[in-house]
Amino acid sequence: MKRIVAAAAAAAGLTSIAWAGEWAEACVARLEADGRDTSGCQCLEDAITENPALEAEFRALAEIADPAARYHAASDAAKAAMDDCTR
């Protein structure tokens, strides 16, 4: 459950982003504000860059306030990116 919350928290930082580098920056800002580990943020940006279909999904997921609900609402591809990028 901790991993799900961490993955979903990282995904929540990815709102209103359109340019390379900004996904990771937004993720770091959100997680630092919550006192959370930011080490997976660049990984998430890389996953989104490699699979542009994830961009819209991560924007939508960021609107879900509850981290567990956010994770469970994600597609398999988005969950895989979150899982791969969190510790």
Cβ-contact 24, 44 below 8 angstroms: yes
Average pLDDT over residues 20-41: 82
Size (the chain), residues: 87
Distances (CA, A) of 50 to 19, 47, 68: 14, 5, 25
CA dist 53 and 41 (Å) reads: 18
Q: Which residue has the higher pLDDT, 58 or 1?
A: 58
Domain spans of the chain?
2-85
Assigned token pair, 12: 């929540």
Average pLDDT over residues 1-17: 53
Q: Could you identify the residue written with the tokens 């930082």? A: 13
Cβ-contact 34, 65 below 8 angstroms: no
Q: Could you identify the residue written with the tokens 């924007």? A: 59
Query: What are 43-71's pLDDT values in tens digits?
Result: 999 998 898 889 889 888 888 888 889 89
Q: Confidence band (pLDDT; 50, 70, 90) for 14? A: low
